[in-house]
A and B are shown apart, each in its own frame.
Chain A
Amino acid sequence: MTTPNQTRTPKTPALSLTGLCGGFDDPVQQSQQVFRRALTALSEPGTLQTLPAADAPTGIHPAAYQLCLALLDAETPLWIAPALKSEALVSALRFHCGCRIVDDPGRAEFALISPDIDGELTRFAQGSHEYPDRSTTLIVQVGSLEATADWTLSGPGIDGTRKVGITGLDPRWPGMLADNHRRFPCGVDILFTAGSVLMGLPRTTRVEI
Chain B
Amino acid sequence: MTTAFPDQTTDTPADATGYNFAYLDEQTKRMIRRCLLKAVAVPGYQVPFGGREMPLPYGWGTGGMQVTATVIGSDDVLKVIDQGADDTTNAVSIRRFFARTAGVATTESTPQASVIQTRHRIPETPLSRGQILVYQVPIPEPLRFIEPRETETRKMHALQEYGVMHVKLYEDIARFGHIATTYAYPVKVNGHYVMDPSPIPKFDNPKMHGCPALQLFGAGREKRIYAIPPFTRVESLDFEDHPFEVQGWDQTCEFCGSDHSFLDEVVIDDYGGRIFICSDTDYCNQRLDADARKEAV
> Which chain B positions have C-beta within 8 A of A135?
38
For A75, give the chain B residue with the smallest CB separation: B31
Against B, the Cβ 8 Å flags (1 = close, 0 = not) of A22-60 are: 000001110111011011101110000000000000000
B154 and A156 contact, CB distance less than 8 A: no
**A185 in contact with B158 given A43-B227, A73-B27, A133-B47 (CB within 8 Å):** yes
Sample of 8 A–B contacts (CB below 8 Å):
A32-B73, A39-B214, A42-B41, A43-B227, A72-B30, A129-B155, A133-B39, A135-B38
**A28 in contact with B21 given A43-B214, A157-B230 (CB within 8 Å):** yes
> Which chain A positions have C-beta within 8 A of B262?
none
**A202 in contact with B31 given A29-B21, A44-B230, A159-B212 (CB within 8 Å):** no
In-complex Cβ contact of A42 among B37, B72, B129 (8 A): B37
Please count how many residues in chain A sit with their CB below 8 Å of the partner chain's CB atoms.
39
The answer to the question of B232 belonging to the interface, with a C-beta cut-off of 8 Å to chain A, is: yes
Question: Which B residues contact A (CB, under 8 angstroms)?
Answer: 20-21, 26-27, 29-31, 33-43, 45, 47-48, 71-74, 129, 151, 154-155, 157-159, 190, 192-193, 210, 212, 214, 227-233
With A39-B33, A129-B158, A133-B45 given, can you name 17 additional A-B contacts, CB distance below 8 Å?
A28-B21, A29-B21, A39-B40, A40-B214, A42-B40, A43-B40, A44-B229, A72-B30, A75-B31, A129-B155, A130-B154, A156-B40, A156-B230, A156-B231, A157-B40, A189-B38, A202-B40
A157 and B154 contact, CB distance less than 8 A: no
Against B, the Cβ 8 Å flags (1 = close, 0 = not) of A113-155 are: 0000000000000000111110101000000000000000001
B30 and A204 contact, CB distance less than 8 A: no
Rounded to whole Å, the gap between the CB of A71 and the closest CB of chain B is 6
The answer to the question of A178 belonging to the interface, with a C-beta cut-off of 8 Å to chain B, is: no
The 5 closest A-B pairs by CB, nearest first: A129-B158, A202-B41, A157-B229, A133-B38, A130-B154
The answer to the question of A176 belonging to the interface, with a C-beta cut-off of 8 Å to chain B, is: no
B42 and A185 contact, CB distance less than 8 A: yes
B42 and A204 contact, CB distance less than 8 A: yes
The answer to the question of A203 belonging to the interface, with a C-beta cut-off of 8 Å to chain B, is: yes
> Which chain B positions have C-beta within 8 A of A129?
155, 158-159
For A205, give the chain B residue with the smallest CB separation: B41
B37 and A184 contact, CB distance less than 8 A: no
